Amino acid sequence: MQNRYSKNNIERVFKTGRLLTILFSMLFLSQNVFSQDEGAYVEELRGVWITNVDSDVLNSKQNIAEGMDFLAERGFNVIYPVVWNKGYTLFPSMVAKDSIGYLQDPVFANQGRDPLREIIVEAHRNGMEVIPWFEYGFASVYGDPTGGHIIQRNPHWAAKDVDGNIANRNSFYWMNAIHPSVQDFMLGIMEEAIENYDIDGVQGDDRLPAMSSTAGYSDYTKKLYRQEHDGEDPPASYDDASFLKWKADKLTEFAGDLYSMVKSKDSLLTLSLSPSIYSFSYDNYLQDWPTWLDSNYVDIIHPQAYRYDIGGYRTVIRNMLGREPFSSQGYIHRVFRPQIFPGILIKAGGTFNDDEYVLNAIEFNREYDLKGEVYFFFEGLDEKNNNLADTLYKYKYGTPAILPNRNGKVRRPKGIITNESTDSVTITGTWTNSDKKGFSGQTIFAEANSQSSITYDLDVPYEAWYKVYAWVPTDNEATQSANYEVFGAEDTSEVILDQTTSTNWGWIEIGNTYLEKGTQTVVKIDADKVTDGKPTYADAVMLLLDRKKSPTVEIDAVITSNEELRNEIPSGYKLQQNYPNPFNPTTKIGFTLPTSSRVTLEVFDILGRRVALLEDQRIFAAGSHQVTFDANKLASGVFIYRFKAGDITMSKKMILVK
């Protein structure tokens, strides 16, 4: 694998990056540039997968709103909500309806809900990016040898093993990821999400692009193989090295097609892929993802570094990136580290990785200059896992962050919100407080024919296109013809909402308009324009920047460098695991101090005899420090190093191997 990264390839990556930077700079010269005045940011990716299995987040609009508030308040900045699972799209998809017979997952179709649209509104309101996660990828079904409804409707889509059965791996049964109709279907539903939603990218995982390595024996695939191999049949052994490579290369070609499709729609969208760890990914699922990186077919990679012990996690990272943080000896060259953000397992069934595990994993990521991570999955962040998200915010995520691939720009500013109690809102006629909860506080209502209206002025920070939302309570006695006028720089529109239906509860889009910078009237609600004589309810109004129509509006962020972040004063004493460990003959021992302290650092053998005194009551300033231990004169064995600072004593083991 290391031989792949020739000098020419690495130079090509750098040249491509410079070319893109130049092109984007030229494009942005004609655009307005704005600053984001929410304080300094660091450049880190802090992501969370949102599932529809073993999780309640997607069960209601209220759960989604509360979940997004929870994450934003704890420093997260990107959400990966599942949108393709168990053979269904969670959003309404005409491609899916035409191809597999279902417009949408029946659970959400029966509720009349679109959870992707709901999560986009609530995440963007909080300034977080949304990258829909096509979880099932090319898998058709789990645990059903018939292939489920997708294969039953499209038998020619089935991946086949050498015995003619539907190919499976770990009880997932697969579509033929090499078949052009299957590829067109997958590209189609992803393209549909890009075209119909204001999202920030799309994501595949260990099933996209992927296929069971046992596959390769369908009629289509055998015919294609013969065409490319002078009439020879595929090898009888599915894991024949040349056959594995041929199949994996076909999936790599699809990754290139996917990347091209995404960038053709919007060059600023992120293509994120989350494969299994190499070479398990290659041997089992034909995912040659180091080649995806080398071919510039992906923006971000989240390798699924799923381990239950921190030693196992560190081993995964070292194998990938090298034994030393600054080496280039892993199967991923150092040049690609800015694109690597590992997936960290925090929950699987009833098993959790706790705060100590995760904090150690983050520290190890930063040692390797990995600027972020993504967690599987949301339900491992709350009280069921010792309130892990609170710990992360306290010790790691307290400073706001933007994604590192955004070049110092804020893609998703928080929503601009005002309600009836602010000075910028003008109320005429009689509006009465109701018992219905609003976005913040209670809602108000006005009777029909009462000459009552409410006008919302908002302070618009950027000249751009905006989606306009109203927060709507629902009541059986409310009007079914609430009148909203939306004003813009170019036109005015009118929207009629039914305030009795539960599907219209919460934030409802009432317009899409171009607004100039400055304070101006954006929305008016007129209770006299109802047609059924029922009362009209009113609450907050919100603007969200529309990135589909204003993709190149730049919002500068003040960036705090990683060095400055490392020099921030820690909140407590900490003794780090020595690195490397095992070692020969030198290793580094790190520790942090919340205040200036006298430090003693000693090393003992396994019998308790002191073999080294590294520091003896030396005064260290608050911050992070490292001390080198040279064991050149010692024999191999297990040693204990002990750290004393004030009343604090901590110890850890290390191993010398000669």
**Domain coordinates in residue numbering, the chain:** 47-234+247-404, 416-557, 573-656
pLDDT at residue 619, rounded to an integer: 78
Q: How confident is the model at residue 568 (pLDDT cuts 50, 70, 90)?
A: low
Whether the CB-CB separation of 615 and 599 falls below 8 Å is answered with: yes
pLDDT digits over 222-253, tens only? Answer: 999 999 999 999 999 999 999 999 999 999 99
Residue range 424-451, pLDDT digits in tens: 899 999 999 999 999 988 999 999 999 9
DSSP state of 304: B
Query: Dihedral, CA atoms, 641, 644, 648, 649, nearest 10 degrees?
Result: 30
The pTM score is 0.82
Would you state the pLDDT for residue 5?
34
- Rounded to an integer, what distance in angstroms lies between the CA atom of residue 218 and that of residue 156? 8
Task: Work out the pLDDT band at 18, boundaries 50, 70, 90.
Answer: very low
Residues in CB range of 3: below 8 A, 6 or more apart: none
Torsion angle of the four alpha carbons 111, 113, 114, 117, in this order, in degrees rounded to the nearest 10: -150
Alpha-carbon distance of 399 to 591, in angstroms, equals 22
Angle between helices 241-265 and 180-196 (to 10 degrees): 30
Residue 215 and residue 244: Cα distance in Å, rounded?
Answer: 10
Question: What percent of the chain is modeled with pLDDT above 90?
Answer: 83
* 573-656: CATH number: 2.60.40.3080
Q: For all residues of the chain together, what is the average pLDDT?
A: 91
Please give the Cα distance from 307 to 440 (Å, whole number). Answer: 41
pLDDT of 342 reads 98
Report residue 4's pLDDT band, with 50, 70 and 90 as the boundaries: very low
How far apart are the C-alpha atoms of 90 and 651, rounded to whole Å? 50
The distance of Cα 322 from the centroid of its chain, to the nearest Å, equals 25
> What would be the CATH architecture of the domain defined by 47-234+247-404?
Alpha-Beta Barrel (3.20)
pLDDT at 656 over 90: yes
Residue 420 clears pLDDT 90, i.e. is over it:
no
Q: What is the mean pLDDT of residues 134-155?
A: 98
Query: 17 falls in which pLDDT band (50, 70, 90)?
Result: very low
pLDDT of residue 40: 83
Rg (CA), the chain: 28
C-alpha closest to that of 362 among 304, 300, 313: 313
* Sheet containing 492-497, strands listed edge to edge, beginning at the edge strand earlier in sequence: 425-428, 453-460, 518-526, 482-487, 492-497
Nearest to 599 by CA among 557, 578, 627, 571: 627
Contact 187, 259 (CB under 8 A): no
The Cα–Cα gap between 488 and 572 comes to 52
- Looking at residues 572-595, what average pLDDT do you find? 89
Asked if residue 503 has pLDDT above 60, the reply is yes
**Mean per-residue pLDDT for 468-494?**
96
Question: What's the angle, vertex CA 405, arms to CA 278 and CA 388, rounded to 5?
Answer: 70
Q: What pLDDT, in 10s, does the model give residues 110-120?
A: 999 999 999 99
Q: Is 487 helix (H, G, I), strand (E, B) or coil?
A: strand
Ramachandran category for residue 294: left, alpha or beta (phi over 0 → left; psi -120 to 50 → alpha): alpha
Q: Closest by alpha carbon to 579, among 648, 641, 622, 645?
A: 641
Take residue 160 and report the two structure tokens written for it: 């086949």
Task: With a cut of 50, say whether residue 33 has pLDDT above it.
Answer: no
The predicted-structure confidence for 397-418, as pLDDT tens digits, reads as follows 999 999 999 999 999 999 999 9
Domain 416-557, what architecture? Sandwich (2.60)
CA 251 to chain centre: 23
CA angle 238, 239, 244 (to 5 degrees): 95
Residue-wise DSSP of 385-399: GTTHHHHHHHHTS-S
Residues 6+ apart with CB under 8 A from 90: 52, 58, 81, 82, 83, 84, 104, 105, 108, 115, 116
Q: Are strands 637-645 and 351-352 parallel, antiparallel or unpaired?
A: unpaired
What is the pLDDT, as a whole number, of residue 38? 52
Q: What percent of the chain has pLDDT over 70?
A: 92
pLDDT at 623: 76
Give the tokens for residue 646: 């004030």
Rounded distance between C-alpha atoms, residue 197 and residue 91, angstroms: 10
Per-residue pLDDT, 625: 86
Contact in structure between 521 and 487 (CB atoms under 8 Å)? yes
Q: What is the per-residue pLDDT across 279-299, written as a single tens digit (0 to 9) for each?
A: 999 999 999 999 999 999 999
DSSP for residue 57: G
Looking at the predicted structure, is the pLDDT value of residue 518 above 60?
Answer: yes
Place of tokens 């004589």: 533
3-state SS assignment for residue 81: strand
Question: For 13-17, 141-145, 452-456, which range has the lowest pLDDT when averaged over its residues?
Answer: 13-17
Report residue 434 as tokens: 């109701």
pLDDT for residue 327 is more than 60: yes
Contacts (Cβ under 8 Å, ≥6 apart) of 358 = 344, 346, 375, 388, 391, 392
